[in-house]
């Protein structure tokens, strides 16, 4: 029984960085402002010769595709020369299908992590002595684990983001279709490597802020609770 409790406790702690990471990724992938940030900062309209308004339509199409609201991310655009064409090559469509699979996996992990945190809090902790204090302590540990992991990834990214970026693709994709040519493949023109580095740091910062808020509330909650009860007792 003790082994089960220890395993359940550590799974609860591990679920916190998983939940914060997957929630941040899902939010970023669903926000058109994130896509438009790339278009504006990196002058994508000039790079692709496609008007800014059309780029926003491309972003909406991708978001709808990742949410399974449309069957394909393919979209027709018109460049500044008046030429109409389909934006993505066949191999880019394959890669986008793989990316969609990753986002779906992200969503499943998010739901599973949140479900476990709720179930553990409601069903397992009530059977333990000092349950709310234990819950607060484990949330603090989960937040601390999140901060430690983000710190390690942040340091590694500062010194060698490109290598981490390549390793991520090698692990995540079973085909070479993620290796795109920025001179002819619009997918990489839309989202250059610099954009992904920006998003990694912004996302990491958001996760750090979330972990600090949760950890701070969990750490300070028991003190506030005890102080309140002392005052009531008086």
Domain ranges for the chain, please list them. Answer: 2-233
Q: What is the pLDDT of residue 234?
A: 46
- What is the helix (H) or strand (E) element at residue 225, kind and residue range? helix 193-233
Residue 206 CA to residue 147 CA, distance in Å, equals 11
Rg of the Cα trace of the chain? 22
SS (H, E, C) 141-160: HHHHHHHHHHHHHHHHHHHH
Q: How many CB atoms lie within 10 A of CB 139?
A: 22
* Cα–Cα dist 27/34, whole Å: 9
**102-105 CB contacts, 8 Å cutoff, 24+ apart:** 102/172, 103/25, 103/26, 103/29, 103/66
What stretch of H or E contains 86?
strand 84-86
User: 214 near 156, Cβ under 8 Å?
Assistant: no
DSSP H helical ranges for 31-89: 32-41, 44-48, 52-66
Lookup: tokens for 141? 């540990």
pLDDT tens for the 234 residues of the chain, in order: 678 888 888 999 999 999 999 999 999 999 999 999 999 999 999 999 999 999 999 999 999 999 999 999 999 999 999 999 999 999 999 999 999 999 999 999 999 999 999 998 887 665 555 567 778 888 899 999 999 999 999 999 888 999 999 999 999 999 999 999 999 999 999 999 999 999 999 999 999 999 999 888 887 755 555 554 555 444
Pairing of strands 84-86, 76-78: antiparallel
Looking at the DSSP bridge assignments, the partners of residue 77 are 85
- The pLDDT assigned to 6 comes to 86
Orientation of helix 131-172 relative to helix 2-30, angle to 10°: 60
Q: Which residues of 54-84 are buried (b: 16+ CB within 10 A; e: fewer)?
A: bbeebbebbbebbeeeeeebbbebeeeeeee
| Residue 45: per-residue pLDDT | 96
> What is the Cα–Cα distance from 174 to 184, expressed in whole angstroms?
23
Give the number of residues written for the chain.
Answer: 234
């Amino acid at each position: 029984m003790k082994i089960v409790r220890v395993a359940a406790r550590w799974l609860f702690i591990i679920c916190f960085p998983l939940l914060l990471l997957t929630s941040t990724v899902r939010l970023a992938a669903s926000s058109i402002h994130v896509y438009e940030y790339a278009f504006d900062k990196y002058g994508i309209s000039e790079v692709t010769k496609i008007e800014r308004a059309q780029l926003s339509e491309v972003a909406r199409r991708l978001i709808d595709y990742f949410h399974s609201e449309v069957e394909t991310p393919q979209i027709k655009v018109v460049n500044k020369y008046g030429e109409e064409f389909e934006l993505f090559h066949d191999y880019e469509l394959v890669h986008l299908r793989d990316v969609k699979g990753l986002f779906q996996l992200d969503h499943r992990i998010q739901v599973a992590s949140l479900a476990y945190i709720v179930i553990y809090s409601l069903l397992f902790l009530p059977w333990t002595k000092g349950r709310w204090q234990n819950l607060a302590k484990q949330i603090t540990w989960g937040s601390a684990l999140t901060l430690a992991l983000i710190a390690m990834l942040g340091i590694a990214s500062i010194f060698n983001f490109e290598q981490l970026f390549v390793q991520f693709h090698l692990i995540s994709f079973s085909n070479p279709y993620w290796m795109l040519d920025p001179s002819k493949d619009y997918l990489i023109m839309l989202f250059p490597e610099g954009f992904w580095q920006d998003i990694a740091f912004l996302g990491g910062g958001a996760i750090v802020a979330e972990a600090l808020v949760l950890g701070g509330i969990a750490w300070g909650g028991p003190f506030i609770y005890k102080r309140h009860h002392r005052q009531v007792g008086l």
